[in-house]
Amino acid sequence: MSKPKSILKVVLPLLLGVALVWYSLSQISVSKLVQYFKDADYFWIVLGVSLGVLSHASRAYRWLFMAEPLGYKPKFVNSFMAVYSAYLINFTIPRAGEIARASILTNYEDVPFDKGFGSIVAERVADTIMLLIIIGVALILEFEFIYSFFIEKFNPLTLLIGIVVLLMVILGLYFFIKSSASKFALKVKSFVNGLVEGALSIFKMKKKWAFIFHTMFIWVMYLSMFYFTTLALPELNDISLAAILIGFIMASFSIAATNGGIGSFPEAIVIAFTLFNMPEDPSRAFGWIMWSTQTLVIIVLGGLSLIYLPIYNRKKNSI
């Protein structure tokens, strides 16, 4: 990869994040946002943070099931600290966390980098499948709402033409990718093949049911963390399941748009919640409360992990 392209991949998400922070704060005064933080019920915020820590602990433990077939038995503490270190590093350089996590496991658990990185990629496959399942559930449960929303916003004939055109584009892309040898087509093929291969490898795992349980637990904790944090603001106490699911899905995608979701996370929440007639200011305040508290935990635990990793392993190695 050329150096300018690498720089753009780092700089563009950061610039987008800064622009979205500016936009978000232009839509609600800082004093009003601070007031929402002051008035929030911190019992629900602490509960949400605790569920987030549990999900990351489960992620660290889940990886042990992937390391075992490779012939390694890493310590849970190292895996846990590697997970939080990776999240922290992702705030500086997008997607660099996975590389850092694999490097930490190489340094402190002697897991070869390529094997460690491969297992982390396979984990991401499982997480992608879970997110797709949540999207599918949201579409099924809220089909009537989604259908009514599009019928209300668009002329039925225009909508039908749009669906037909979309299907034709999808079919055209499918046949193009299937027969083409272009870089784009090969990348898509590789991604899909990796997704299928990763999914099938889970069922070949010795402790596959434990791995599947932890994968489901991680995402249940994510959803629970999201829901319980909404209870911190009285204005959102009557929020519907549909709003929670759509908000969660949009927030998940926003994290990939900018460094750790900076700026994009609160605005994704606003877009999702206002679809369900939730008030804009509390929705934006919730986005900032959710993002800032979870980010604070990552900064603290990620920073402590980076500091404590060499200390912990020096002590263990000296025994």
The reply to whether 79 falls in a domain is yes
CA–CA dist 127, 157 (Å, integer) = 37
For residue 9, is it within any domain? no
Residue 216's contacts (CB-CB under 8 Å, 6 or more residues apart) are 130
Beta strands (DSSP E) in 25-169 are: none
Can you tell me the distance from the alpha carbon of 289 to that of 297, in angstroms, rounded to the nearest whole number?
12
Give the pLDDT of the chain (319 residues) as one tens digit per residue. Answer: 456 666 666 677 778 888 888 988 889 989 999 999 999 999 999 999 999 999 999 999 998 888 887 777 889 999 999 999 999 988 887 778 888 888 898 888 888 887 777 778 788 888 888 998 998 888 887 777 666 666 666 666 665 676 777 778 778 776 777 777 777 677 777 666 655 665 566 666 778 888 889 999 999 999 999 999 999 999 998 888 888 998 999 999 888 788 888 889 999 999 999 888 899 999 999 999 999 999 999 999 999 999 999 998 886 665 5
Amino acid type, 282: P
116 contact partners, CB below 8 Å, separation of at least 6:
67, 101, 102, 105, 106
Tell me which amino acid residue 221 is.
M
- Residue 277 is assigned to a structural domain of this protein: yes
- Is residue 23, in this structure, part of any structural domain at all? no
With beta carbons less than 8 A apart as the criterion, state whether 62 and 211 touch. yes
Q: Does some domain include residue 25?
A: no
pTM score, whole prediction: 0.82
In a domain, 8, yes or no: no
Tell me whether residue 3 is in a domain. no
What range does the domain containing 255 cover?
A: 30-294+307-318
- Cβ-contact 80, 57 below 8 angstroms: yes
Structure tokens given for 103: 């490097």
Please identify which residue in the block is written with the tokens 């087509």.
185
Distance CA 189, CA 193 (A): 6
**Residue 200 lies inside a defined structural domain of this protein:** yes
65, 207 in Cβ contact below 8 A?
yes
SS3 61: helix
Measured CA distances, 113 to 9, 204, 240 (Å): 23, 22, 44
What's the token pair of residue 216? 């489901």
Give the total number of structural domains in the chain. Answer: 1
